[in-house]
Structure 1
Amino acid sequence: MMLDLLGGFGEKGRTSLAVNSGNDRILLDVGIKVGATGAEYYPALAGSAGDIDALFVSHAHEDHVGALSWLLSRGYAGPIFMTAETRDEAPATLAGYADAEDLKRFPFPADRIELFQPGDTLKSGNLSIRTGRSGHVVGGVWFAVDDGESRLAYSADVVPDSNVFVMDTIPQCDLLVLDASYGADPVSGAARAREISDWMTRHANGCLLPTPLSGRSLELIAALPGPFAIHASMRASLETQIGASTALLPGVSGLLQRRLRDAADWTDADLLPSMPLLADDGMGEAGPSSRLLPRAAAAGFPVLLTGHLPSGSPGDRLHKAGRADWVRMPTHPTLGGNVDIWEKAGRPEALGHSCAADSLADLKIHIPPLLAQCRTGQRIKVPARSK
């Protein structure tokens, strides 16, 4: 089994891998890189996409599905596997991040989507693709690909210590592709959640919390210490996510339902509220927060950013100008989580995706078989299973 690193290795964004075994070739995720331009915005896929047998999408965030229309424009004609939640959320992601001309010519292909549920095992040619809940978003999954001689486990985005979501254990494998978004950050998710809750308590009379529509939004709602508002356009999606109780930890669905029921709806025509306001997306690149960030800056309204800030993004510019605070809400593994994932997977060779090169070097200190030198554009061999 050979693995082509098409995006996300030595960099954050455009996450994509091609798995090759004999005549079988599949693609795992097809993301874009926020802040990049030209070819670097898309996966490093050479030539036509016509030789790809199937595409498997882990979840609907832009760095995992944002290049779908681009892939279709390059001739991809095969099936697209995703969960129902990913299918429902992907069109909005493409509207915010796909090239306008690509999206016009190749809109979201609803008739080609092959649905599965987390926990299902899928087939493509000789490849068996096992799935499991990621702990990152409702409907998000990891993939474990087996060709009978070796097994690759690709985490996509996972959260092993979420306060909201369930993550299934990634199986033992011969090569593990880890979500290394936070490198060797040792601070636990619980500690970061407390820090965010304390910040929001200090700004309970009004603040803006930009957040992705799925995933982190529920983590923030769980961490909010008092009354809050949401952009009204988010309510239907949040209700659907909270209703997916099998993706959530026991008891969490009821808590979130009560919190959302009591949340105030806010629209662009309203005055900025005297309570915390959640609005998507998390970087200010699209959605209501693309309008709210400049409005908050002009009004001196406090802003807390809680996720990745690509260089040059609206959120990044506001933070660098001293007009927004930043505390990372862990929606990816911190150091202890990744070490635990690696140990349970049998301590195999490993790669780290969604991570800068220097952070990979730091992570290798704790996971010695990590191939920290691997970069987007390279091809590597998945080790054969030990006899």
Structure 2
Amino acid sequence: MSAPVTVVGIGADGWDGLAPAARREIASCQVLVGSARQLDLVPGDAERVPWPSPLLPALPGLLSRHGDRRIVVLASGDPMFHGIGSTLVRLVGAERVRAVPHPSSASLACARLGWALDGVAVVSLVGKPAALLVPHLHPGRRVLVLGGSPAEVAALAPDARITVLEQLGGPRERVHHDLAAADPLHVLALECGRDGASTTPGRPDDTYEHDGQLTKREVRAVSLALLAPRPGELLWDVGAGAGSIAVEWCRTHPACRAVAVERHPGRAARVTRNATALGVPGLRVVVGESPAVLDPGELEPPDAVFVGGGLTAPGVVERCWAALRPGGRLVANAVTLESEAVLTRWRARLGGELTRVEVSRAAPVGGFTAWRPHLPVTTWAVTKEDPVAEDPMTEEDR
């Protein structure tokens, strides 16, 4: 594609609401691309090309066919705010995209409600599962939802006060609370009630569906502190069990990603259900035996690895360590003497820290209360800072 693409933001008020600069771009273009609704909002003689469906697979071909002509793409509101502008930048590069923004739907919604834009969470559910909203629901929190189904949002936040803001900026603008009567072009504003859970690791064990293969709450909190999730990073959760480590890794920040590796199909299905219920439906689940399933050609290299099961299987730690990015963290937990011995030998080779975590919980004993101890867990944590030693461990070493 030789010519740059100009992306012009437009609101429900159409041509009348556009600034002079945006009007000039549209008036001078040869090809105008947008939704049928958006194309109807503006005058002009340019060739009009409605968005194909599905959009993303067809987008490169569409741009290529008109690459030598002046193209203007119409976008809702601010093209770089959950908009097509960001998609085009990823596709053709920032140097080939020029954005002419319009006030975003979030800006307009906050203006109508008297909310500070910098004090609200904005969640886009356009083409995405509604479960993504769950991690943003906290007591007293204000949330704007773009593109969400009112019925689905209400089901996820039953105690929230929900306002519908539709056709913002246009002649048919309306602000109301009748979810069943919401116009398709709407923003939902939530004022959360008392429901909602912390994103701090260490959720109650009964939050998860499991069959006993679960990293317990206290140990989970310690393990995630050692994994030290940062926005945008990827975790491999190997021997995931119920997937609690991967789920809580993803809940620390919307940009955190995880792959849960589990050999039992039934447990893998539970991981998927837990991820959806707790608001991280994008968590990827891989079913298979480690280390064979840890194919570097199939899985993106991780920034952190947690090994919760399969430590004694030959090659698991080697494969995880080899795949780990420089500066990445590996954390492994052991309960049995055999798996603890594996950690001890790996620590002698690669360094890191060994920690013993022992937890007791108060429980009834007859008419009294006593401490009921859980099995102690040995945790090994190491950061990949130095090159791997040339001499790999032998089967006898393991």
* Higher Cα radius of gyration: 2
Question: TM-score surpassing 0.5?
Answer: no
TM-score (normalised: structure 1): 0.29
Q: RCO higher in 1 or 2 (8 Å CA, sep ≥ 6)?
A: 1
